[in-house]
A and B are shown apart, each in its own frame.
Chain A
Amino acid sequence: VRKNVKKTSISRRDALLATLFGGSMIGLRSIATGLPVKLLLNPKKALADMQTTCTGNAGAAQFVIINTSGSGDPISCNAPGTYDDPTTGIDLSSLVHPDPVTYSWMAPTKMALGSKGAQYTAAQIWSTLGPGTGNADVLDRTCFAHIMTNTPVHPKEPEVLELMGATLYGEMFPSVLAKQLAPCLGTLQTQPISVGASTPSEALTFGGQALPTIPPTALSATLTNATTGPSAGMTKLQTLRDQTLNDMYDWYKDSSQTSPAQKAYIDSMILSQQQVRGISQSQLGLLSSITSNSNAGQITAALALIMMKVTPVIAVHFPFGGDNHADPAFNSEATQTQTGLQAIVSLMTQLKDPSFNLYDNVTFLNLNVFGRTMGPANTAGRQHNQNHQMSLMIGKGFKGGVLGGVGPIASNLGGDFGSLGIDVNSGAAVQNVSTSTSSVVAPLDSLASWGKTVLTAVGATSDQTNAAVSSGQVIQAALA
């Protein structure tokens, strides 16, 4: 009977949409809810792919810090591969960069990248990851991947984080990584945490559910237990309180008056209490040192979460110039590229610090909603570039170098400059993909390939990688 009721009471709007999307309205439901289409179509397999034990290469598992921006910051515009390209020889002299006189740290500078020491030019600030800076070997494990997200619009940030539909069931890539890594790293929770999302569009989801963003200062205030002051007496009674709450939970669960939905909520409270008590208090000093939500605050928060083994994946947002349509003299781009790089350098320095000793355990990634235009028309700001962005990968699992490159794009495809194909074995840019072999990643597959490459670098098996990301291929040249 109910089934009939549903049929007869369907609205005109639903009827029209059903026509467009098919009887199940899978597409609309996916759009409306964020739940991935594939999950709707094959839920059994969706769940089967979730892991509770480490089935990948545990020794390669890494904590991941991923920097992401829904603004599409111009981190891509002054990186290696945007001044020259020794693999293609394409003339990139017309690409626009900030004035090196005004901004000395943006001066074009040659730097050796990769095991073969290929010489690329980039803004001088990128060389601070290299020799002579105390971070001598960071560039040796830094990949500059020239890829494209194929979207020029800000609201697609969540979809880009889902690798534009390439991830299994449309899961966000940070959550894909988290599911892979959590059982290998033994973290308290599987879900990733964003400490840097500056807008709800940058917030993460896990299994289609929205995850709260927790700024560093909030994290500090949240996880720190008082051992002095007026709350100290209450801290001593924490165990007793947990017992009372457990009694309360048990009573609710045993009561016939408690509805199943209420019992389900009680269960989630039980879990969260267990997780809280599993948090190591050894990093309280580190948490207490957080005074702002700046880049430095986000780094400290990420380090604390890793040291406490709370989560395998932390999302941050280091500004690199923002949505700089109007950026006279590229002032924002230059100044924030400096502060952004300083943040990465600071992170690497702290990872190496003996008090953390995490340099070989943490991978840093960058993935933005899109890159920005770089051609000569960009004199006082940059537009959205669906055809290019540079996604960083820094970690033990990578060997340094440039993956792919940039070249001119036909006007009917968006114009300006965009990413080229990538030879998966050498990492070299490939101009004419259509005539190349299957060992070349086409620009449209580059985002998914980037995801597969990252998964492989952090220990996922080939089967796991292929299951998690449906298209693209692993760029072997990136792997250490």
Chain B
Amino acid sequence: MCENAHGPYFPLDPHATHVAWQLLCRGLVMNAKRVLGCATATALASACFLGGTPAAQNDAGSPDASTVLPFQADSPFVYVAKVKNIMTGLAPTQAEVDSVANAGDQAAQQAALVTLIDTWMTRPEYTGKMLTFFELAFQQTQITQTDFSEIVPNGNGSIGTSPEANLLVQNARESFARTALELIAEGQPLTSTFTTTRFMMTPALAELYAFMDWNQTDDNEKITDKFATQFKTIGVTVEDTTPITYADTIDSTKPTTYMHWYFPGLNSVQPAGPNNPSPDCQADTRTWISTNNANTPSAHLVHFLLYGGFESYKINSGPPPNNDCNAYQGGTNTNAIITGTDFSNWQMVQVRAPNGSEAITPFWDMNKLRAANDSSNPLVLNVPRVGFFSTPAFHANWQTNTSNQMRVTINQSFIVALGAQVDGTDTTNPALIGTNPPGMDPQHMAAGGAPCVGCHQVLDPSRSILMANYSDAYGIQTNASQTKGEFVFNGVVNNNVTTLADFGNQLATHPYFPDAWVEKLCFFVNSQKCDPTDPEYIRIRDDFKSKGFQWKVLVEDLLSSPLTTNAVPTQTTQVSEGELVSVTRRDHLCTLLNSRLGLVDSCGLDIVTTKSLVGIPEIAAGLPSDGYGRGAPIPVLPTSPNLFYRAGLENICEDVANEIIDAKTPPQGATTYASTASDAAIADFVATMMAIVPDDPRSAVMIGKLTAHYNSALTNSATKTDALKSTFVVACLSPNVAGIGM
């Protein structure tokens, strides 16, 4: 049996010529073992180390090599550092490690760790970590400005191309993760993220929500620009002659200035030139009045004006290359309305449908949008917004079309909410679904036959719920004859699911929910799944269920569990999965650098904040990172430190060293070190960077090795500054920084 097959650890000889082969074998075996269980992986190991190559045989050591590495318990020195790193990026203090190590038996130590976890949860670094986790878990990332081109119609520029548009995209990415955190802070169950109609928004994001309500596309790709209709007679005037206050621009009681936008520098927009030969392209009059050009004023025009740009689309109708002027947005207008804190002031905002003939929220009224909240001043919108699957970011991420018909949307919704997808293995009794469920695409029944039915009888009824609420471009569904559909997914059939709220509720009550989210956290914390049959896993999942799906409970339970700490063996760590030390992927590494060295967004992952460093972001872009793929319930998580990681980390560490060691102008708030106090610096490298507390037996060893390096560097004619920088780089490259669980 697997648990009895623990041979010795597979020793590798780093000087042997087949190190790569051995590691390849081991990686394959470990991967197989995580997935397959013991028997298959054991056979794989035998093949690898016995049958792979003669050289591998010689290097492999034991012919009884096991597929699951022998379990060896980690000490509090190791796991307290791991848990604090995962939660905050910070190193533990001696007192924190002591509080666990000296607590008593294993149960007492676990309880002491929970106390620490509760403390760490209050730190801003934890909020940042959870923000990253939820952005990925709710699949709100992996989008750029261009991904909005289909869901924000009119094509020419979509949400805009200015730098501020990138800020808006980041707002969209963060919004739902912030919403989840806010709901958790309110004490709401995690399932509330499926049903919420309140969303964290910035004023800029609120404008996008409203803008998308005024300007949308139906299933026939017909664009409805309600702004154009409403302002057809009034028009929009853009001028740089007389300053007009924004208050006057949006004041409908002042007809002489209403919808007159002050745009200093208008004449500089699209000047004549080699690439802009058509005079029709040029805003060469000091006042541009939409109705003078046989245009109707568009929602896009005003959206761009709010951002300080000017859209002159429709002025030119020529073929390429003269279509450069079809869309233009420049940052030349110093009178931009959406600026600065409009991208950083977050507020919980209620979104609700109009009552009767109530008007929807005007997207051009930033004063109103800045005051939006979840009580007296909600956003009044026609497009339904309920749960994570209704956000602009999710829609931009998972665009659909006339042939896909929301199948990608429903499948990704299942993956996010329930951790499983439609793949032909659905456990629902076909008799409950019937032969022709509502929303079933008859073409797939007829054309594809049996192989297609398995997926489509689940996908089609369920996606029809979304189709009944949204157009293909995620505008409001105007086709009243659209079949409303039926919820079908893994054992649950409900033909009374009509609205998005119904859909969200159905997801929230589905039996797959708790397992899905325990596993998502397992992947985040341990870079591998937890064995769902492990009694410890079941304890955690059941506690999550019995305590009302409180996220805090799940975090406490899993991060203090031996599933994470490896303090004692579990079925997961000893039998089915084994312990995995993973590479410190990008988000964890960047948080670590920020938290331990007082840097601000060292990797440049947040375009809103001011960066500490300028060289690292390019490297960080190539570091292994967490991601999700279309139709993939399991996240994409590289776990090995390949050569690019090693090379990139070295360059990152050098960049950091230049900023914090003997630096004349270090980043504000950064921890700095002086070569005149090298002993203290080295001690702190070990304690802070490597997260090895002073009483840890490894501390003296590592201080000795770093000190020896520093002295050797001096012996090799390095300056004191370079010697200390190099010593920092060693610490920064150490397994304790580059690996999670060391």
Contact = CB atoms under 8 A, between A and B. Distances in A.
Interface string B339-378: 0000000000000000000000000000000000000000
B580 interface: yes
Interface stretch (A25-33, A344-352, A454-462): A25-33
B23 A268 contact: yes
B607 interface: no
Contact of B644 (A28, A153, A219, A233): A219
A262 B742 contact: yes
Contact of B31 (A35, A190, A236, A326): A35
**Most-contacted residue by chain B among A213, A221, A246, A273 (CB, 10 A):** A221
Contact of A252 (B571, B634, B735): B735
A465 to B, nearest CB: 21
Contacts, number: 338
Contacts of B48: 47
Interface in B708-742: 708-709, 712-713, 716, 718-719, 721-723, 725-726, 729-730, 733-735, 738-739, 741-742
Nearest to B633: A32
B482 interface: no
A467 interface: no
Given A28-B425, A32-B35, A218-B618, A248 B705 contact: yes
B189 to A, nearest CB: 22
A451 to B, nearest CB: 21
A163 to B, nearest CB: 18
A6 B44 CA distance: 22
Interface stretch (A57-65, A131-139, A198-206): A198-206
B643 interface: yes
**Most-contacted residue by chain B among A45, A203, A214, A247 (CB, 10 A):** A214
Nearest to A220: B618
Interface residues of A, number: 113
Interface stretch (A76-84, A119-127, A140-148, A222-230): A222-230
Interface string B666-703: 00000000000000000000000000000001100110
Given A3-B1, A209-B31, A244-B705, A190 B47 contact: no
Contacts of A33: 31, 34-35, 634
**Most-contacted residue by chain A among B150, B490, B654, B712 (CB, 10 A):** B654
Contacts of B623: 212, 218
Contacts of B24: 50, 190, 207
A208 B535 contact: no
Contacts of A215: 621-622
Contact of A46 (B30, B44, B645): B44
A43 B47 contact: yes
A67 interface: no
A233 B725 contact: yes
A267 B9 CA distance: 12
Contacts of A355: none
B3 interface: yes
B632 A241 contact: no
Contacts of A263: 9
B150 to A, nearest CB: 7
Interface in B24-68: 24-28, 30-32, 34-36, 40-41, 43-44, 46-48, 51-53, 55-56
A154 interface: yes
Contacts of B657: 234
Given A190-B20, A276-B646, A326-B221, A47 B725 contact: no
A326 B220 CA distance: 11
A5 B705 contact: no
B35 A210 contact: no
B230 interface: no
Contact of B403 (A29, A102, A279, A384): A384
A240 interface: yes
A435 interface: no
A305 to B, nearest CB: 10
Contacts of B579: 259-261
Contacts of A411: 447
B709 A240 contact: yes
A274 interface: yes
Nearest to B48: A47
Contact of B618 (A50, A217, A257): A217
Given A212-B624, A234-B729, A279-B643, A102 B319 contact: yes
B708 A244 contact: yes
Given A47-B48, A266-B735, A383-B403, A209 B639 contact: yes
A209 B527 CA distance: 12
Nearest to A222: B648
A6 B629 CA distance: 31
A155 B721 contact: no
Nearest to B719: A233
Contact of A43 (B1, B40, B718): B40
A268 B27 CA distance: 9
A270 interface: yes
B170 to A, nearest CB: 19
A15 B423 CA distance: 17
B76 interface: no
A207 B31 contact: yes
Contact of B427 (A13, A46, A211, A383): A13
**Most-contacted residue by chain A among B532, B619, B658 (CB, 10 A):** B619
B18 interface: yes
Contacts of A17: 425, 427
A210 B24 CA distance: 13
A155 B632 contact: yes
A29 B631 contact: no
B387 interface: no
A265 interface: yes
Given A5-B535, A233-B722, A234-B722, A217 B621 contact: yes
A199 B654 contact: no
Contacts of B648: 218, 221-222
Interface in B420-434: 423, 425, 427
A191 interface: yes
Interface string B64-86: 00000111111100000000000
A462 B21 CA distance: 24
Contact of B647 (A203, A222, A226, A233): A222
A241 B40 contact: no
B735 A325 contact: no
A359 B611 CA distance: 43
Contact of B622 (A32, A214, A233): A214
B408 A260 contact: no
Contact of B705 (A46, A70, A251): A251
A40 to B, nearest CB: 5
B330 to A, nearest CB: 22
Given A240-B713, A251-B701, A47 B425 contact: no
A116 interface: no
A243 to B, nearest CB: 8
B119 interface: no
Given A199-B142, A210-B636, A241-B729, A14 B533 contact: yes
Contacts of A31: 423, 425
Top 5 A-B pairs ranked by shortest CB distance? A218-B622, A155-B631, A233-B722, A43-B44, A44-B47
12 contacts: A29-B36, A43-B32, A211-B638, A230-B658, A244-B706, A245-B734, A257-B697, A260-B579, A267-B12, A267-B22, A274-B19, A384-B403
Interface of B: 1, 3, 9-10, 12, 14, 18-28, 30-32, 34-36, 40-41, 43-44, 46-48, 51-53, 55-56, 69-75, 142, 150, 221, 319-320, 401-403, 408, 423, 425, 427, 446-447, 490, 512, 515, 532-533, 535, 538, 566, 571, 575, 578-582, 615, 618-625, 627-634, 636-648, 650-651, 654-655, 657-658, 697-698, 701-702, 705-706, 708-709, 712-713, 716, 718-719, 721-723, 725-726, 729-730, 733-735, 738-739, 741-742
Given A222-B644, A270-B14, A414-B447, 5 more contacts: A35-B31, A46-B44, A247-B705, A249-B735, A412-B446
